[in-house]
Structure 1
Amino acid sequence: MEQLDTIVIGAGVAGLTAARLLHGAGRRIAVLEARDRVGGRVWTDRSAGNVTDLGASWIHGVDGCPVAAASEAFGMPPIEFTVGSYQPDGRPIAYFAPDGSRLPDDAARAFAEDVRAVDATLREVIDRSEPLDSYRDVTERALAAQDWDEERAARVREFLEHRTEEQYGAWIEDLAAHGLDDDAVDGDEVVFPGGYDRLPAALAEGLDVRLGHVVTRVRWSDDGVVVVTAHGALRAATAVLTVPVGVLQGGDLAIEPPLPARVAGALGRLTMNRFEKVVLRFPTRFWGDDVYAIRQQGAEGRRWHSWYDLTPLHGTPTLLTFAAGPTAREIEGWDDARVAASVMAQLRRLYGAAAEAPTSVQVTAWHADPFARGSYAYMTVGSTTADHDDLATPIGGVLHLAGEATWTDDPATVPAAMLSGHRAAERILASEVPIERLWSQA
C-alpha cells in the first residue's frame, strides 16, 4: 500500500490550496480527484470559441481577498462587474414594473431606498431572532416595521425573496435567519474574461494530482488515514477531505468510524442548494448598451426576474440569468430549448419583438453532478453560523475537512474554499504559513 504524508481528496480550490502549501513545506502529497479535470465547482467551458464560467464567476469584493491576490499573481486580468450581490442600485439597472413597463429613474431610486430602509431594520431584527426563525420570519418583521401599504411592501418582499434565491439558491422560508449574515462586499466585484479555471490550473502546477480517482471509503484512526479508491488503497499520516456537503451527505463516500457528533451535527444542519446558470448569447444587444442588469417585478418574475449583461467580457451580446431554489427544481429535466423558451417569454414581455432568439444557450445542472450534488451549501432553519467552523473540527488529529461550507466568514465562495484549505494545511503543519506562499512559489 502506497504511503504518503498527506492525502488530499478533491482537486478544487480548497484541496489544491492545502496540497500546494503542504507540498511547499516538503510533504509527500497526492491529490485524488474523481473528475477528469481539476477545479471542482470552478469550471470554465471553452467550446464553440466561447469562454463561459459554468461554476464560480465572481470575486465578491477584492479588498483583502487572497483569491484576488492569487489571480493577479497568476496573470488573470479581471473586469469590474459589481452586480453579483444583488444590490438594488449602484450600477445601471433596468427595473420593470409588474405590468411590464420600465420604471422611471425616480421610481427606481425610490424603490432602492425602500430596500435600504428594510435592510437597516433587518440587521436589528436578525440580532434579536430566535434559533428556529427563518429568513422569511425576520424579513416579514422588518417589513411590518415600515408601516407601508401592501403594494409597496410586496415589491420589497419580492426583492428579498429573489435576493435569497440568488445568494444561496434557497427558498426564503428554508434559509436560517442568519443565513445571509455574510452578505457584504469589500471593494469591487470582478469576473475573469479568460476564465476562472486558470486559478485551479495554476494552483495544481507541480502537484501529484490523480484524476479519475473516485474515493469510496476513508478510514481514520490514531495511526493515520487509509483512503480507498477503485485504483487501490493509500495510507497517510493525515488527510484533507474537501468534497462538497452534498457528497458527504450522499452515502457514496463511507467514513469509518462515522464523523464525531460535533461535526455530524453541523453537517446535518447544512444542505446543498439548487442554483443553476442560464447563459444566452444573442445577435444584438437588444436591451441597450448602458444596462448592467435587468430586473422584473411582480408575479411574472416568480421564475425569471433578473438578467446580467456579460457582453463586456468578450464583446458578444450575452445575458446571464439564474434558475435558483424553486425554479431550479421546476426546470429539472427540461432540455436547454425549453428553458430558453421560458426565459425568452419574459424578455419578450419586457422588450417586445426586439428580444430576438438567442444564438446559443447553456444551462448548468450541478444538482445532477454526483461529485457536487448542488452548487454550494446553505444554513437550514435551526443552523447557526458556528456550524461552518464546527464542520472543520479536526477529527482524531488526522482527518481535516475543508471547502467553502467549512468557512464561517464568507461561505459559498472561492475565497472561503481557499482560506479553508490554508487552515487545514496550517493545522497539519502545526505552524503558521503565509497564504502568499500559494502564489509566491509560482
Structure 2
Amino acid sequence: MDPKDPFSADFFDGSVLSHIERQQNVCPSVIVIGGGISGIAAARILHDASFKVFLLESRDRLGGRIHTDYSFGCPVDMGASWLHGVCNENPLAPLIRRLGLTLYRTSGDDSVLYDHDLESFALFDMDGRQVPQKMVVEVGDTFKKILKGTEKVRIENSDDMSVCQAISVVMDRHPELRQKGLAHEVLQWYICRMEAWFAADADVISLKNWDQLPLSYLLMKAYKLRVLVVKEHVLSGGHGLMVQGYDPIIKALAKDIDVRLNHRVTKILYGSNTVMATIEDGRNFIADAAIITVPHGILKANLIEFEPQLPEWKVAAISDLGVGNENKIALRFEKVFWPNVELLGIVAPNSYGCGYFLNLHKVTGHPVLVYMAAGRFAYDLEKLTDDAAVNFVMLQLKKMMSDATEPVQYLVSRWGTDVNSLGCYALDLVGKPGDIYERLRAPLGNLFFGGEAVSMDHQGSVHGAYSAGVMAAENCQRHLLQELGNLETRQHAYLRDEVLEGTIPIQISRM
C-alpha cells in the first residue's frame, strides 16, 4: 500500500484520528463500500462536493448486479436490463438523455405481463404447438380478475399471507376463474411472469407488502380510486430495455472516482468519529464515515463483521427482508430461426415448468435470445454446469421450434451463488414488519446504508438503487459537515438537478 495514501491506516501509524485532527482536515473523508450503481452514485455525489472519497469493490469490475457483456458483438445485460419508469421523473432520466442512450419500449403502465405488453409474443405448449393468441388474451383478462381478487383478500385480512395463498382464496370464491387444459397452462405462464418480476415463487411473496405492479394501475382503472396499500410507488411511462446496456451509465458515474477493485471488505469498525474498513488481505482503510451499499444478500449472510455489533433492530431488519433470484442464459446463434416477436414462451401445468425467452434481435439486430428463470428454478439452474444449463434451455427451444440450431456462443449468470451478490434484489417475505426498509436505511452514527434494498419507494430497480445511493451520500455529507462545524453549503452540479425538457429519447420503438 502506498504509505502516502490518506485512506490507509498505515498512513496514521494504525491510530484513529482524533476529533481535533479531523477538524484540521480541509475535506472530510468517506469510504464507499460496494461498486454497484448505488455505491457509484454515492461516491459521485461526494466527489462532486469536494469530499475525499474512494470506493472499495470486491469484484474485478464496477457495476455489481449491473453487468453488460460485449462478447457477442453487441451489449447484453446479464443483470439489470430494464428501465422501469420511462419518464422525466425517473432520477436516471437526465443522465440517459445527456449520454444520448436509447431505449426499446416493451410495455406501458398497465400491462398484465409487467414489463411486456401483449403485442408481440408467441407461446407454445410442451409439444411445440403454438397457443392461439385469442386464448392468451382471454386468460390474461382472467389473470387480471384474479389479481383484483387478491387485493380484496388483502383488505379483508389483517394477517399477512403469500400471494399464492391469496390466489387460492380467490379461486375458491370464484370457481369460474379456474382454467382447464391448455388455458390452465397459460395461466401458469402468467403466474411465472409475475414470479419473475419479484424473482421469487408466489408462495413466499408477501401479499401485504408486495408492490403489485401492474395491479395498482389495474385497480385504479377498474375502481377509479386510489389504491389503499401499495408498497412501491411505480413511476409512469412503462418499461424500456437499455439498447446500449447499462454499462455507459456506470462508466459515466464512475469517471474520476478513486476506485479500488478486488478489495473485499470483511470487517467494519465504526465509532464516534472514525470508520475503519478491513479488507480480505488484512489491510485497513480509515475515513471519517462510510457508506455501505453491498447487496442485501451479503449482509444477510453475515459476510461483513461489524464492531461494535449492529443493534438488534438493524439485525432483525436485515434478517426479515428476503432476497430474490433470477438468472439469464444468453444464446447467440448464427442466424435467426424464430418468429419476429419480442418474447417467446413455453407453457406448462405449473409455473415452475414454464419458460420465457427475450428476443434481443428486436433490440440489437443480433441473433440473440435470452432465457430467464426466477425463484427456486433460478437456484436449480445454478446447480448445473454452464453446458448442462444451456442444454436444458435448448431442449425447451427445440420443443418450440424444430428447426432450432445450436448456439455458437452463450453466457450464464449465477447471481444466487455469486459470493459478491448472493441473490438479485430485495423481496418482501410473508408476515414481516412493514418498517423493514426504514430500519435498513437508518444510519448508525457515521455509518450509512445504500443499495436497492433500502430505497424509499423503488426497491429492486436500478433507479431505486441509484436514488438510495444519492440519499445516503447527502445524509453522510450533512452529518460530517455538522460534526466538523462546517455548515457552509457545498456546491455540486449534478445530472439529477438538470432542468428537464422533453422526454427520454426512445429512438428504437417496436419493430
2:134 corresponds to which of 85, 106, 116: 106
- CA 1:408–1:384 in 2, change beyond 3 Å: closer, same or farther? farther
1:56 aligned partner: 80
Aligned 8 A contact 1:182 1:409 in 2 = no
1:68 aligned partner: 93
2:428 counterpart of 1:379 = yes
**Amino acid across the alignment from 1:225:** V
2:200 aligned partner: 170
1:426 aligned partner: 474
1:267 aligned partner: 318
1:42 corresponds to which of 63, 66, 90: 66
Matched residue count? 438
Aligned 8 A contact 1:304 1:323 in 2 = no
How far does the alpha carbon of each residue in 1:250-290 deviate from its partner, in whole angstroms, 9 at most, with x for none? 2331011222222211111123223110112223332212x
2:81 counterpart of 1:30 = no
How far does the alpha carbon of each residue in 1:115-169 deviate from its partner, in whole angstroms, 9 at most, with x for none? 1111222223233344441121222223333332643584475245413431122
2:412 aligned partner: 363
Hey, what's the Cα distance between the residues in 1 that align with 2:79 and 2:206?
24
Stretch of structure 1 that moved more, 332-341 or 146-155: 146-155
How far does the alpha carbon of each residue in 1:4-29 deviate from its partner, in whole angstroms, 9 at most, with x for none? 52111111111111111112122111
1:223 aligned partner: 273
Q: In the TM superposition, what are the counterparts of 1:324-343 in structure 2 within 5 Å?
A: 324-343=374-393
Q: In the TM superposition, what are the counterparts of 1:399-410 in structure 2 within 5 Å?
A: 399-410=447-458
Hey, what's the Cα distance between the residues in 2 that align with 1:433 and 1:74?
26
Aligned 8 A contact 2:49 2:491 in 1 = no
SS in 2 for 1:234: strand
1:390 corresponds to which of 439, 442, 454: 439
Q: In the TM superposition, what are the counterparts of 1:176-325 in structure 2 within 5 Å?
A: 176-181=206-211, 183-184=213-214, 186-229=236-279, 230=281, 232-289=283-340, 291-299=341-349, 302-325=352-375
**Amino acid across the alignment from 1:148:** E
Structure 2, unmatched stretches of 5+, are 1-8, 12-16, 18-27, 215-233, 480-488, 499-511
Hey, what's the Cα distance between the residues in 1 that align with 2:419 and 2:339?
39
Hey, what's the Cα distance between the residues in 2 that align with 1:67 and 1:81?
18
Distance apart, 1:104 and its partner CA: 2.4
**Amino acid across the alignment from 1:241:** I
2:113 counterpart of 1:86 = yes
**What's the TM-score, normalizing by structure 1?**
0.90
Distance apart, 1:301 and its partner CA: 6.3
**Amino acid across the alignment from 1:212:** N
1:416 aligned partner: 464
Distance apart, 1:97 and its partner CA: 4.6
Hey, what's the Cα distance between the residues in 2 that align with 1:416 and 1:54?
19
**What's the TM-score, normalizing by structure 2?**
0.79
- CA 1:149–1:29 in 2, change beyond 3 Å: closer, same or farther? closer
2:164 aligned partner: 136
**Amino acid across the alignment from 2:381:** I
Aligned 8 A contact 1:60 1:85 in 2 = no
Computed over aligned residues only, the root mean square deviation of the Cα atoms, in angstroms, reads 2.7
- CA 1:85–1:204 in 2, change beyond 3 Å: closer, same or farther? farther
Structure showing greater radius of gyration is 2
Aligned 8 A contact 2:143 2:187 in 1 = no
SS in 2 for 1:367: coil
**Amino acid across the alignment from 2:448:** H
Query: Structure 1 runs of 4+ off > 6 angstroms?
Result: 431-436
**Amino acid across the alignment from 1:233:** N
Hey, what's the Cα distance between the residues in 1 that align with 2:167 and 2:93?
33
SS in 2 for 1:322: strand
**Amino acid across the alignment from 1:437:** Y
Aligned 8 A contact 2:57 2:264 in 1 = yes
Stretch of structure 1 that moved more, 225-234 or 191-200: 225-234
How far does the alpha carbon of each residue in 1:275-308 deviate from its partner, in whole angstroms, 9 at most, with x for none? 110112223332212x111222223863342211
How far does the alpha carbon of each residue in 1:152-193 deviate from its partner, in whole angstroms, 9 at most, with x for none? 584475245413431122121122223531524521322223
1:146 aligned partner: 174
**Amino acid across the alignment from 1:171:** D
Hey, what's the Cα distance between the residues in 2 that align with 1:52 and 1:246?
24
Aligned 8 A contact 2:125 2:131 in 1 = yes
Stretch of structure 1 that moved more, 365-374 or 42-51: 42-51
- CA 1:47–1:103 in 2, change beyond 3 Å: closer, same or farther? closer
- CA 1:406–1:129 in 2, change beyond 3 Å: closer, same or farther? farther
Hey, what's the Cα distance between the residues in 1 that align with 2:174 and 2:338?
34
Aligned 8 A contact 2:277 2:284 in 1 = yes
Hey, what's the Cα distance between the residues in 2 that align with 1:81 and 1:219?
46
Stretch of structure 1 that moved more, 254-263 or 123-132: 123-132
**Amino acid across the alignment from 2:284:** A
